[in-house]
Amino acid sequence: MVFQQFNLVKRSSVMTNVLAGRLGYANPTLALFGIWSKEDRDRAMAALERVGIAEKANTRADTLSGGQQQRVGIARALMQEPDLVLADEPVASLDPVLAHTILQYLEVLNKSDGTTVICSLHFLDLVHRYSTRVIGLKDGIKVFEGLPAEINRERFKEIYGEEAQEVRATSVE
């Protein structure tokens, strides 16, 4: 799971936050005292390298930018070697350039690793750029399922109502 609000332990290091993704596989007593196997530490460093912030491994999480914190969240999710990643509005609290960066990491995870990524997005232009399939929900009810190209402004207003505003995130192509 990749969260909107990052859910990092702010006073802990980036490495400790990433290793938290292995808690379900680790000896709980050893993990409580911060004792991790070399394999888990190597896996955590590889995950940090993958998201481009290996140099921040020993940095406190609360000193990172929002984009860096979200990359820590992705690295933490990678620690579980997932077949499926749920990303709950992973770019809602980021500026548009960082939003594209984070979604590109998730896109590579999907295309290179074959990991299914289910991502909640509220920016139609990001849906068009990164999605391969779209499910539209309104009040918890599925009101649309199809290809991103099938949602234009008219369809968007039809799904979400005339008062709905299409919010655009600036592109970085």
CA distance 69 to 108: 18
Instruction: Please tell me the predicted confidence (pLDDT) of residue 145.
Output: 92
What would the pLDDT profile of 82-111 be if each residue is shown by its tens digit? 999 999 999 988 888 889 999 999 999 999
Mean pLDDT lowest among 21-35, 41-55, 88-102, 158-172? 158-172
Residue carrying the six token digits 């290996």: 54
Phi, psi of 35 (to 5 degrees): -100, 115
Taking 80 as the threshold, does the pLDDT of residue 50 lie above it? yes
- Confidence label for 170 from pLDDT (cuts 50, 70 and 90): low
Residue type, 115: T
CA distance 3 to 74: 9
CA distance 47 to 96: 24
